[in-house]
Structure 1
């Protein structure tokens, strides 16, 4: 039996069940709320990936760092900064370079990789050079 917000599979026919998608608010290490979209069942990767922000670690952060390094190396319309160490830890250097990227792309400068930042970063700077990142970068589609 599956129970979601008080509804269970006992109280509704199995034919009417579809994958449940819901949003929850989690607190990160700094105590700030963060949006986390989660899905059960079938999903489109990327669209439901957690936002990536200061204090996070893992594959999503490694992909962001690699994408930012790729953008930074192009240095066509901005002053090149030192490359990030791709260690999977979202620290001050990653946040600062991400905020510069957001300003360069005329996005909301908040230092968080959400769907808007994720879309431009993934499709322009990550996907052409790195595979395995689509499911961990938040995108619009």
Structure 2
């Protein structure tokens, strides 16, 4: 909560048992468990998305990871990276309930305990928001209070969660909006897309689709600049920080990355009518919102 450098601990479905009964495959993850929990408490879809988006950034996993331990062995723990007196309170709460501190359901209950107690002011600020982006920033500012803001990463993650669950129904089976984990040695279209996005952020790279030492160095430099864990690995937090919002009229290497992912286009870095038509066609076929705007959901569906 006071740092963005939370390394992923053991991934798990600690809260899945709380759902009860058979769980459909699209719902069998920690994000959906958290979504159902906070929606059940009365948060709106956009407010819930803003909260979970922060937990993706803080825990460094999508789905959120209740066992996350701060990068380098620092004090932060769990989906909100609690530390200091708040971490002590989490541990004491876990002991009082006879549960591990890394239980997802325990941590969700603890968040709500804070919202109805010591963090009531943060809860009021969250309840005053009306979009995933404003909710994401409110959670960062009033509840997480990290040393590094990284608001764009939080907003992107919140919008991705909203695109998955915001209408209250299951995403279509053909819609996949996850993002790959990339590290040194990876190759393929996702690595090529990453290289274009890094170039768009001022790094000089040959776009060859091979994640080698130069790409790793550029990733580390970008992570350091954004206050992320400097490990050279591109996971949810790094993706969420680097993915641009693109629409008709945009130009540059981010558009080139998009054109490569879409295929069948001249890779000229200009988002014109042909790129717009291709985006809309892709969104329709992937059962995404057909608006011609490339945000986290469209990127997540495109990048494999």
Could you tell me the TM-score, scaled by structure 1's length? 0.56
C-alpha distance in 2, partners of 1:36/1:119?
A: 11
Query: Higher relative CO (CA 8 A, sep ≥ 6), structure 1 or 2?
Result: 1
- CA RMSD, Structure 1 to Structure 2 (Å): 3.3
Query: Which aligned pairs between 1:71-90 and structure 2 lie closer than 5 A?
Result: 71-72=201-202, 83-90=204-211
Q: Which runs of 5+ in 2 are unaligned?
A: 1-21, 30-60, 64-172, 246-251, 263-298
Aligned pairs, number: 99
Equivalent of 1:18 in 14, 24, 42: 24
C-alpha distance in 2, partners of 1:64/1:108?
A: 17
Q: Which has the higher strand share?
A: 1
Equivalent of 1:115 in 236, 245, 255: 236
* Higher Cα Rg, which structure: 2
CA deviations over 1:70-124 (Å, ceiling 9, x no partner): 111xxxxxxxx6x211000000000001100000011111101111100111126
Q: Residues 91 and 106 from structure 1, CA distance in 2 versus in 1: closer, same or farther, beyond 3 angstroms?
A: same
Shift of 1:36: 10
C-alpha distance in 2, partners of 1:22/1:102?
A: 30
Q: Secondary structure at the match of 2:231?
A: coil
Q: Which runs of 5+ in 1 are unaligned?
A: 1-15, 24-34, 73-80
Q: Residues 86 and 60 from structure 1, CA distance in 2 versus in 1: closer, same or farther, beyond 3 angstroms?
A: same
